[in-house]
Amino acid sequence: AQTVTQSQPEMSVQEAETVTLSCTYDTSENNYYLFWYKQPPSRQMILVIRQEAYKQQNATENRFSVNFQKAAKSFSLKISDSQLGDTAMYFCAFMGWLKAAGNKLTFGGGTRVLVKP
Amino acid sequence: DGGITQSPKYLFRKEGQNVTLSCEQNLNHDAMYWYRQDPGQGLRLIYYSQIVNDFQKGDIAEGYSVSREKKESFPLTVTSAQKNPTAFYLCASSMRRTGASTDTQYFGPGTRLTVL
């Protein structure tokens, strides 16, 4: 079974600065997807970024980028130019490639990010 | 607007009662999912359905039941057999995988269930 670990329960960052969230996972599969979701105080889960394991290029979405290290099974998220609206829980999630697995997402425990003015 | 709706936003239930949470999507997605979130924790999969009239148990299905009679609807019933039902429940949906597309799951706003 896959597991996802987020080792930082909470992080704080000054507005306009950069913060990096760590995520490691364990799988025996070679092809899979990785995601970062954001959950603000409203509790709505919002997709931040996704990465396909077969792509070597790291995904980027505006101020959000990832550092995907397949051999190390590491998938960190960098938030640049942090904004107050970035304050939220951030969840790392894994999804296997196999259709038989039902496209299930396995989530980490989350990292709470607080952006300070 | 395309999206996923869940109702109600807050739900209170007495012990021993069954309760049904609604999830509707108009994204034309084939697959739908139910997750449970406890305070300070990540999400855990309860049930999922990849096609109408078919569904599978997730990691914590005991005490829950679902149906999938229509593509756009995937209601979750929390039965009296669920020992600790107080939690935040999230519904999600995704397209089925074809070719190079990814099955990103998109989430509804959630239902907060409290057992009194």
Q: Give per-residue pLDDT as tens, B23-57.
A: 999 999 989 999 999 988 889 999 999 889 999 99
- Contact of B60 with chain A, judged by CB distance below 8 Å, is answered with no
Omega within 30 of 0 (cis) for the link into B85:
no
According to the model, what pLDDT value does residue B49 have?
A: 92
Report which residue type is found at A93: A
According to the model, what pLDDT value does residue A13 have?
A: 97
According to the model, what pLDDT value does residue B98 have?
A: 59
User: Over 90: is that where the pLDDT of B82 sits?
Assistant: no
According to the model, what pLDDT value does residue B46 have?
A: 96
What's the rounded Cα separation, in Å, for the pair B97 and B27?
15
User: Over 80: is that where the pLDDT of B10 sits?
Assistant: yes
User: Over 80: is that where the pLDDT of B99 sits?
Assistant: no
For the beta carbon of residue B106, count every other beta carbon within 10 angstroms.
Answer: 18
- Contact of B13 with chain A, judged by CB distance below 8 Å, is answered with no
CA B109, distance to chain mean position in Å, is 11
- Contact of B30 with chain A, judged by CB distance below 8 Å, is answered with no
- Contact of B99 with chain A, judged by CB distance below 8 Å, is answered with no
Closest CB to B103: pick one of A44, A46, A95: A95
Partners of A50 in beta bridges: A35
Partners of A13 in beta bridges: A115
pLDDT tens-place values along chain A, 117 residues long: 789 999 999 999 999 999 999 999 999 888 899 999 999 998 999 999 999 998 889 999 999 999 999 999 999 999 999 999 999 999 999 998 776 666 788 999 999 999 999
What's the rounded Cα separation, in Å, for the pair B70 and B67?
9
According to the model, what pLDDT value does residue B102 have?
A: 60
Q: Do B103 and A33 touch (CB under 8 A)?
A: yes
Report which residue type is found at A10: E
